[in-house]
Each structure stands twice: as C-alpha cells, then as structure tokens.
C-alpha cells in the first residue's frame, strides 16, 4: 500500500474551527489509518506485505502557518511505528517516506517566488530542486522485497536540506 494524500493549505492558529480541524485531520491523517486497516486482512492472508506512509518534513523543522497540517504529519510517524509493531508478526512491514519540499506544479505556481529557488538550493547539500521523480525510487524500494528487513523506519528524501 502506497499511502499518500495531503493538503497543506496555510491557516492561522486563531482561525481554526472544530470543523476545519476535523476536515484537515481527515484529509491528512485519517485515510492513512483506514486504508491500512482495509488492506491488512489481505496482506495477512498472503503472509505479508508492505505499507509505505507519506509524511512531511514540515513538522520536524517547525514550519509555522499550518498547525493542523503539521500536527497530522507528525502523527503519521507515530502511526507508522505503531503499525510496524502491531503488524510485524504477520510479515507486514510499515515504513514512512518523508519528502522534502517537492516542486509539484501547485507548489511552483502558488508557493515559489522568483527569489525562492536560490534560497532553497543554498540550504541543500545536493543542488537541485526536488520532484516526485526523486521520491518515487525510495518509495518503490520500501515497497519491494529488497527492503524485507526494514520496518518502522523513516526514509527522508530531502537532498540533504535537513540533516537530522
């Protein structure tokens, strides 16, 4: 299971309503839990499987301006570790890919200003903008049998921006 969906809409802490909070948690966290729950019986029947959740570096570096999003993304790492422990006895591996700032069409159109590219690259050890093509191989590796002994782990793909 490749478990990914998110919406990183910016929002002010003071403006968050109960309804907005619940909707953002649903978009950014709830589906990961229930998608994993839905595929687990089939994986158990087959004697194993792999679940890769997608997290975010945003909460790790303390990004502001989107506290519900960062809360949900932090919870994904907790969910990953808990499920890895709970499902390991059935041969099911659960890991998390944590991408850096991926330059999707939306990010390029809405978030990146002309001077931002230079600043982004200055902070990275590897000097290129990240795209989904950089994250896909890491995800496929964790889903594959080559990662048979890896579970409960976070694989950070950020071009060396944040070396934790």
CB atoms within 10 A of CB 127: 10
The DSSP output letter for 14 is G
- Catalytic annotation on 20? no
How many Cα atoms within 13 Å fall on the side-chain side of residue 75? 16
**The residue to which tokens 């944590």 are assigned:** 98
**The residue to which tokens 């158990």 are assigned:** 44
Q: Give the separation between CA 116 and CA 123, rounded to whole angstroms.
A: 11
| Measured CA angle at 11 (ends 158, 32), to 5 deg | 55
Which member of 20, 69, 162, 164 is catalytic?
69
Q: Is 154 helix (H, G, I), strand (E, B) or coil?
A: strand
Catalytic residues: 69
């Amino acid at each position: 299971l490749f478990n990914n969906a998110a919406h990183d809409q910016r929002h002010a802490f003071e403006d968050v309503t109960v309804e907005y909070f619940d909707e953002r948690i649903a978009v950014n966290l709830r589906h990961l839990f229930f998608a994993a729950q839905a595929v687990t019986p089939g994986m158990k029947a087959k004697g194993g499987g792999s679940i890769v959740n997608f997290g975010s570096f945003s909460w790790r570096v303390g990004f502001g301006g989107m506290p519900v999003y960062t809360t949900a993304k932090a919870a994904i790492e907790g969910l990953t570790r808990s499920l890895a422990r709970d499902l390991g006895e059935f041969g099911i591996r659960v890991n998390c890919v944590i991408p850096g700032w991926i330059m999707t069409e939306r990010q390029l159109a809405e978030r990146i200003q002309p001077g931002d590219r230079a600043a982004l690259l200055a902070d990275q050890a590897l000097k290129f903008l990240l795209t989904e093509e950089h994250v896909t191989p890491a995800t496929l590796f964790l889903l594959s049998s080559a990662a048979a002994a890896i579970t409960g782990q976070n694989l950070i793909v950020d071009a060396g921006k944040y070396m934790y």
